[in-house]
Amino acid sequence: MTDLPRILYCHCAYAQVVPKEVKQEVLARLTSAGVAFEAVPDLCELSARGDGRMQQLVEGGQLRIAACYPRAVKWLFEAAGAPLPESGVEIRNMRVEPAAEIAAALLRPASVPAASTASRSDAAETLTPHPSPLAPPQ
């Protein structure tokens, strides 16, 4: 697992929009996988206060994020003055994807491409209807 990109987990506090069971299972799988990761209580709040951590997160190379809709996450970073890089960022959506799938995607080695989720309209690579710079590698 040494070639893992960095992982960021958002706990989405203050709202019930991400199912509790999904958050819990993703976190349980992350904490038992023997890997390092970053976790934040609420990316929305971090963005609202322009927290410098968002800048640090985008500066450190490849990043996999477990949060919510990729379009929301992308513009939350932008709003915080820390735009996500054009490539090397993959966002998994805990509002709609199963926990096991998210964890597997977060924990796969960098050399393994993301599994196709093309059949789902809300999947990680469908960030916007425009060509997406944040789509995971095909």
- Residue 108 as a binder of another protein (CB under 8 A): the answer is no
What's the Cα-to-Cα distance from 123 to each of 55, 86, 92, 116, rounded to whole Å?
Answer: 25, 18, 7, 9
User: Which residue, 93 or 114, has its beta carbon nearer to another protein?
Assistant: 93
Q: How many residues does the chain have?
A: 138
Cβ–Cβ contacts within 10 Å for residue 135, how many? 19
- Residue 72 as a binder of ligand SF4 (CB under 6 A): the answer is yes
- Residue 91 as a binder of ligand SF4 (CB under 6 A): the answer is no
CA distance 49 to 40: 13
Of 21-29, 98-106, 111-119: span binding another protein (CB under 8 A): 21-29
Residue-wise DSSP of 15-32: -S-S-HHHHHHHHHHHHT
Q: Which two tokens stand for residue 123?
A: 């999947």
List 7, 22, 43, 127, residue binding ligand SF4 (CB under 6 A) = 43
Q: Which residues of this protein are in contact with another protein, per CB under 8 A?
A: 1-2, 4-6, 11-15, 17, 24, 27-28, 30-32, 34-42, 44-49, 51-53, 56-57, 60-61, 68-73, 75-76, 78-79, 95, 121-122, 126, 128-130
